[in-house]
Structure 1
Amino acid sequence: MASTEGLVPITRAFLASYYDKHQFPPLSDDVSRLCDEIRSVARDLLQGRTLSEGESLLVREAESTPPHKIDENMWKNREQIEEILFLLKRSNWPTMLQQSTAQDAELGAVLLRLKEKFESALKLLVTFQARNSEHVFNTVMTYLPQDFRGTLIRQQKERSERNKQAAVEALINSGGSIREQYALLWNQQMERRKQLAQLGSATGVYKTLVKYLVGVPQVLLDFVRQINDDEGPMEEQRHRYGPPLYSLTKMALNIRLYLSLLWRHLEAGKLQGNQIPILEKAVDVYASELERFIKFIGNVFVNAPFFITAEDAGAIEASKNEEYQEVSVAAGKTHEVSLTVEDINSYIAWDFSLIQGRLNLQDIGFSLEYEDSSGKKTPILPYKRYESDQGNFCACIAGNYKLVWDNSYSSFFSKVLRYKVDCIPPVVESSASANQVEG
């Protein structure tokens, strides 16, 4: 069991600083250009056509805004790739492309090459999703006691996954469409998120484990409950990496729409010179940019920590919200900063140093105390003299706290103190549906 002592769940501010070091190079301009081109040609193919219900649905989806979540877009791309692969099966080609002329043979070779491109993209995407999901689960499990509790949770997961796979196979065997399969797969993904949130709150399928969860780090339970809040850490991930993925989702939808309309157009024996080349270019760009994005994001995700020290969290939050302050603490005087802690398990974090003074006098006393409603003071952090210090304290009682810098022992020399402090609120539990880890 890995130790979580002194750790807190990652914060959005921390992820922002982490993602600053991992900036995704912009997508090729060809993505938007070719997406616009195939959309324009698709509109031409729509002229004078009565659309089927499925085609109307696909048109609306191609014109709508992609989903907001990273993993939902991954599933959406995977669904569209499978739909495109279905259309690219030789048995589903338009009749005119299955003829034996030299031109048809050349077109067939192009279509088979595009099919291979999508098959490679699908394999890469499936592997990424499986590895990412397993990474999240295994990382969580390393912080659980390595005894029967962990075994029970793993058994529950394995049983749940077998049931999910059986449900998908039953749908396929009954003739379910690709759309229906992916609706089921996404519902199952939501169920995984719900179960992970239940692990965090020891409810639902984990309710019977409540009395056995003594020893499970609270920081872990906090993490799995709050990581995917609307304004939580994963929102930073969506903010940084969502836009390029949304563009790829739109491109996949438009490629599928274009191919669907083109197939129906070709059934009528109509083929224009630019229809296949534009498809070929769009597929090449989509496949290469999707591969680049998945490899990049996979490396970012696998190296991103789940937990950080409260000191790091405090330092990052403070730098985000407040600049360092400077104050001259006169000889024989003290400087105090009061913080009101509204919720227990909040972290009081500090970072300070002295920036002038004689070398042999370059220190200052520092202590932390709690003051109750009656004015009674209780020492929290014992008095000690420092040149500089970074630290934090987890408040087990709400109320007023004072950070005190003491220069009263100096008879002649003032000290210039550079500091910042912050109170980091605790992670609060919200509804299970909003507290889910993307994987």
Structure 2
Amino acid sequence: MRHTITILKWEMSKIINNWQKTLKVFLLPALLLLAAINLFPMLMNYLSTGSLQSRPVTFVNAPDSFVDYFESNPKSSFYSPTWMSFDEAEQLDDATRDELLNKGGVIVFFVAFEKESTIEFDSCVSDYYSRLALGQKTRNLHMIMEIDYKGDYNSYLQAEQFKADIGEGYSPYLLEHLGQPYLDAGGGERWDTDAFNPFTFVTSNRSVANLGASRTIPSMMILLMYYCIYSLTAETLASARQSGFLTKIYLTPISKESLLIGKALMVIFVGVISAVVTFFLLFVSSWLNRSNSAYSLLPFGLFLTPSQLLAFFILLAVVAIMMAMLCFGITFMVRRMQDVIMNLQVPLVLLIFEFFGNMFRPTDAIFAEYFIPIHNVIMTIREIFMGTYSWWTVMLVICINLIFAAELFIVCLKSKDGMLHIAEEGGANDFGKSRKQKI
């Protein structure tokens, strides 16, 4: 145990004393990830609309109340509006209309009529509230705000985004500015107490944000953690063996078990801390994402309960153990340095494919997936963010990964020459090759 702690302290001091390495291990992957997350909505918006930030929207026959509402709405800066009358819209041919929709924009029509006669929109709204205040019938008055978009999924997301940003707030605005007779008569919102409730605000946003984050964060976290662990393993184990330094340590009184456990604890600890720092940055980035683009990989309002956080961090520690033993096992089974790096990158490539697969996966995990190491952790973390996890599933995943990790550790211990240096061209430091002396 004393030798294990000594190895652990020594390996940690090499990282902490080198600030460049510390920055590279802890912050650089997370910062690059945040940059990619924030650039993705802008890229998708540019590909679909031709603009990096503003989204084109065309308003047809917009009433004065909506113009005032749109210009006073802080989220109107996310849109590039075009205003048209009915006569101008009728002059548009089908090709021009399709071009507007093909660019990812939406067309919003405003129509108001009584029975079969078209009337002015604001007058219809005022008449509607006046009749409500007097207790008269309003079933002949109709006010329609119609949002048209192209039938593909990207245009649907843009339309839903416009509805959430602008459309849903227009009705309360009309009540406040054109429904004064109805309000004076006792209609509308009778109570304004707790207009802003922090608990309601968090819970109303987290349901959408957690669901969106479940598509990206689980595989993203595991991918970055594996990159960190694989890099540390290549440096602390493979490179040390290649230089012959590991062989020299192996010849000291320090046991093989103490040496492996000490190095593994360092790799696991750094991998977990790096993942925690990444998650904290993702959490902050989510709450700073006030634009909340429809293409955002990390929607506004991410929030996990204490029970979810506990299960999440436990799984991070377990998968770090599994990935460290996987990297150690690959290093011990492959001798040449370039072969070690190549084999360590194979799981990294598989995790990249899994990341993109989970972004568009519509179904939950099947039961057999819980028996696949590392992958089962991604699936369980995904369920944690969705709020559909169970503790028996978490315990099953923990046991599966720890069993595989223990088997890999035993393989490392039984390796007879995994810690011995083999020089590529032979020589005095070639401890692992048999030599034939020519007579």
If the length of structure 1 is used for normalisation, what is the TM-score?
Answer: 0.22
Q: Answer with 1 or 2: which has the greater Rg.
A: 2
Task: Name the structure with the higher strand share.
Answer: 1
